[in-house]
């Protein structure tokens, strides 16, 4: 286990139900052949994969309701240290319906339930307590209703002031409000880039780097990964695969990036910043590691996993 320690924040966790059908027909009764239930959510998946890659990772989240233990106990069994705040909010369920014959996955996403008024205060206190022993901060996914718009930007600001590098994987207004604090990396998909920035032109990559020192990495499923290497927009093409379950592959990509940075020997200790002139080769290695982990996740039924047997687990 590496000495470097990461903190993964996920404030809208889910219990992920995965159903496999021989074929899925809309408007008809469909009986599943396989079923699994997993603790999930973007930050949950990233934390689990980063732990599987051999790195210490702590997971800061909010939990509540009758299914709270189902969302935290499996992560602890996976070796991830969970730092929970009681929230009074029932955890949401999301469902993946996989059509085996056509190789399609349909995702049904429930809205998050509102957290109680005191949850954010507790989350902020826990975050400040964990930041001094954090070598890398990962913030992934949306926030449940009830958190203030300023929470994520505040976290990025605190990390920047302490010199802790940051990887962000969220979109829209939350991301836009966080960018002034100069996160080290933003990893989003093509759809999220268009939603947040209104397009996908090369100038967006360059502007973020020149004004904020932020490196933007954009994934596109099986399409090319685009990222700013400090001089231009570079591309890497993922391997051609037949996915079993793509859910969590973007989060596995984030974990691969994080592992490459933490394991490079160039990762800063708490209190130091990532050098703005980091070697091109290191960012290339981070992207390549992300691609490998994303492909490994897609070859498995469990979301946010690269170690279980590939395939449907039958």
Calpha distance 2→14 (Å, rounded): 28
Q: At 309, is the secondary structure helix, strand, or coil?
A: coil
Predicted confidence (pLDDT) per residue in 22-35, tens digit:
999 999 999 999 99
The half-sphere exposure of 46 on its side-chain side, counting CA atoms within 13 A, is 33
DSSP state of 133: G
Least confident among 77-86, 117-126, 290-299 = 77-86
Strand pairing class (14-21; 2-9): unpaired
DSSP state of 310: S
The half-sphere exposure of 309 on its side-chain side, counting CA atoms within 13 A, is 4
Q: Structure pTM?
A: 0.94
Alpha carbon 202 to its chain centroid, in Å, reads 24
**pLDDT at 141 > cutoff 70:** yes
Predicted confidence (pLDDT) per residue in 88-101, tens digit:
999 999 999 999 99
Calpha distance 42→39 (Å, rounded): 10
**pLDDT at 188 > cutoff 90:** yes
Calpha distance 137→280 (Å, rounded): 21
Segment 37-55 mean pLDDT: 95
| Confidence (pLDDT) at 314 | 58
Strand pairing class (104-109; 136-140): unpaired
pLDDT-based confidence at residue 268 (cuts at 50, 70, 90): very low
Q: Which pair of structure tokens corresponds to residue 13? A: 């966790």
Q: Which pair of structure tokens corresponds to residue 265? A: 């020997």
Cα dihedral sign, 203-207-208-210: positive
Q: What is the mean pLDDT of the chain?
A: 92
Q: At 200, is the secondary structure helix, strand, or coil?
A: coil
User: What dihedral angle (degrees, nearest 10) is formed by the CA atoms of 45, 248, 16, 111?
Assistant: 100
Calpha distance 5→303 (Å, rounded): 23
């Amino acid at each position: 286990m590496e000495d470097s320690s990461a903190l993964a924040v996920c404030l809208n966790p889910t219990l992920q139900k995965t159903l496999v059908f021989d074929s899925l027909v809309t408007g008809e009764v469909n009986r599943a052949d396989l079923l699994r239930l997993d603790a999930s959510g973007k930050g949950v998946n990233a934390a689990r994969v980063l732990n599987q890659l051999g790195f210490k990772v702590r997971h800061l989240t909010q939990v509540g309701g009758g299914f709270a233990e189902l969302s935290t106990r499996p992560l602890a069994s996976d070796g991830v240290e969970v730092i929970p705040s009681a929230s009074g909010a029932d955890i949401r369920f999301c469902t993946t319906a996989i059509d085996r014959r056509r190789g399609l996955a349909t995702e049904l996403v429930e809205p998050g339930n509102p957290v109680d008024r005191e949850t954010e205060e507790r989350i902020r206190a826990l975050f400040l307590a964990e930041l001094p022993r954090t070598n890398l901060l990962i913030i992934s996914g949306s926030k449940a209703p009830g958190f203030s718009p300023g929470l994520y930007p505040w976290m990025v600001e605190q990390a920047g002031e302490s010199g802790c590098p940051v990887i962000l994987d969220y979109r829209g207004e939350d991301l836009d409000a966080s960018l002034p604090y100069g996160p080290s990396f933003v990893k989003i998909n093509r759809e999220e880039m268009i939603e947040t920035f209104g397009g996908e032109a090369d100038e967006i990559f360059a502007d973020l780097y020149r004004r904020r020192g932020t490196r933007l990495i954009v994934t596109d499923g099986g399409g090319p990964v685009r990222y700013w290497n400090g001089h231009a927009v570079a591309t890497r093409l993922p391997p051609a695969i037949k996915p079993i379950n793509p859910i969590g592959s973007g989060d596995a990509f984030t974990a691969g990036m994080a592992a490459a940075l933490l394991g490079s020997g160039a990762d800063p200790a708490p209190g130091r910043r990532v050098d703005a002139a980091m070697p091109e080769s290191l960012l290339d290695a981070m992207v390549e590691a992300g691609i490998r982990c994303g492909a490994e996740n897609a070859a498995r039924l469990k979301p946010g996993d690269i170690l279980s047997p590939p395939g449907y687990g039958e």
